[in-house]
A and B are shown apart, each in its own frame.
Chain A
Amino acid sequence: MPSLHFLANPARFRRFCARVLPALSVVTALAVAVGLYWALVIAPPDYQQGETVRIMFIHVPSATIAMGGYVLLAVLGGSLLVWRHPLAALMARATAPVGATFTAVGLITGSLWGRPMWGTWWVWDARLTSFLLLFFLYLGHIALSRAYDDADRGDRAAAILALVGAINVPIIKFSVDWWNTLHQPASIMRLGGPSIHPTLLYPLLWMMATFALLFVLLVLLRTDTEIDRRRLEAAELAA
């Protein structure tokens, strides 16, 4: 928490971004290159799913980051409503489109994985439906934060939506345990450890770390831009 308070000052946050973003961009690009080579060339085909298991290396990380991104959005919403954290509204505005994109990638890659494995692009089961709802929650947040002439009102309305919508995250996570779904049960974060063979697990964990780096890079970059945009709007109002 002290580190979060340290970055609460927008000027300090911008200096932090100026130092971190160039190095983070290079590290992320390298991680993407290594991850793609590992996932597409080195990793062996699965004994049941064959080559289609390679879709897992992008589907699982994007879905995990999409859910993590919404948790961040809810934390930022709480920070805005309770402590009026000066950076929370700007970071929430930056996070929502990034989270929505990761969710869209999760939905598209899941559909492309489902067609050859299940014989269908889509089913209205609990996991897929709750994940689609996550996408609509992100879109709702983006729309609501921009729906008011007064940006502060929009940010507060979107923060309430983020907090209320956070109930959907555990529903997505545990939907495969609570209901009978076509989607497979958890195979990484489960009691008893991962059920995936190490030759597939390690590249998957690498891609999850890579997607996390990309998410952090995008959120920092877009928050930095939001700060500049607010300065520009303030200058236009003052003129």
Chain B
Amino acid sequence: MNYAVFIWSAYGATAVALGGLVLLSFVARRRVRRELSARGLDRPREQRAGTSR
């Protein structure tokens, strides 16, 4: 039996699952930050209050 197929499949599946989750997490964070920035909500509350006065 060719064991290499099982070993590389296991490492490949792990890379896809965990690497994909890391990538999706960073992309989601960037998207939410961009939306917050577009609404001017990316700065702390005190700073925003200072600007609006």
The answer to whether B10 touches A113, judged by C-beta atoms less than 8 angstroms apart, is yes
Q: Do A112 and B9 have beta carbons less than 8 Å apart?
A: yes
> Does the CB pair B29–A224 fall under 8 Å?
yes
B32 touches which of A50, A112, A232 (Cβ 8 Å): A232
Chain A residues, Cβ within 8 Å of B18 = 101-102, 105, 214
Contact B14 A109 (CB under 8 A): yes
Q: How many A-B residue pairs have CB under 8 A?
A: 78
A221 touches B6 (CB 8 A): no
Contact between chains at A113 and B6 (CB < 8 Å): yes
Interface of B is mostly: helix
Residues in B whose Cβ lies below 8 Å from that of A98: 21
Q: DSSP class of A's interface residues: helix, strand, loop or mixed?
A: helix
Which of B14, B25, B32, B44 interacts with A229 by CB under 8 Å?
Answer: B32
Closest to A40 in B: B11
Q: Is A116 an interface residue (CB 8 A)?
A: yes
CA separation between A225 and B18, bound complex, in Å?
18
Instruction: Point out the residues of chain A lying under 8 angstroms from B44, CB to CB.
Output: 11
- Closest chain-B Cβ to A39's Cβ sits at a distance in Å of 9
Say yes or no: B17 contacts A105, CB within 8 Å.
yes
**Told that A51-B3, A221-B25, A228-B36 touch, could you supply 14 new A-B pairs with CB distance under 8 A?**
A36-B11, A51-B4, A55-B6, A102-B18, A104-B17, A105-B13, A105-B18, A108-B13, A112-B10, A221-B26, A224-B29, A225-B25, A225-B28, A232-B39
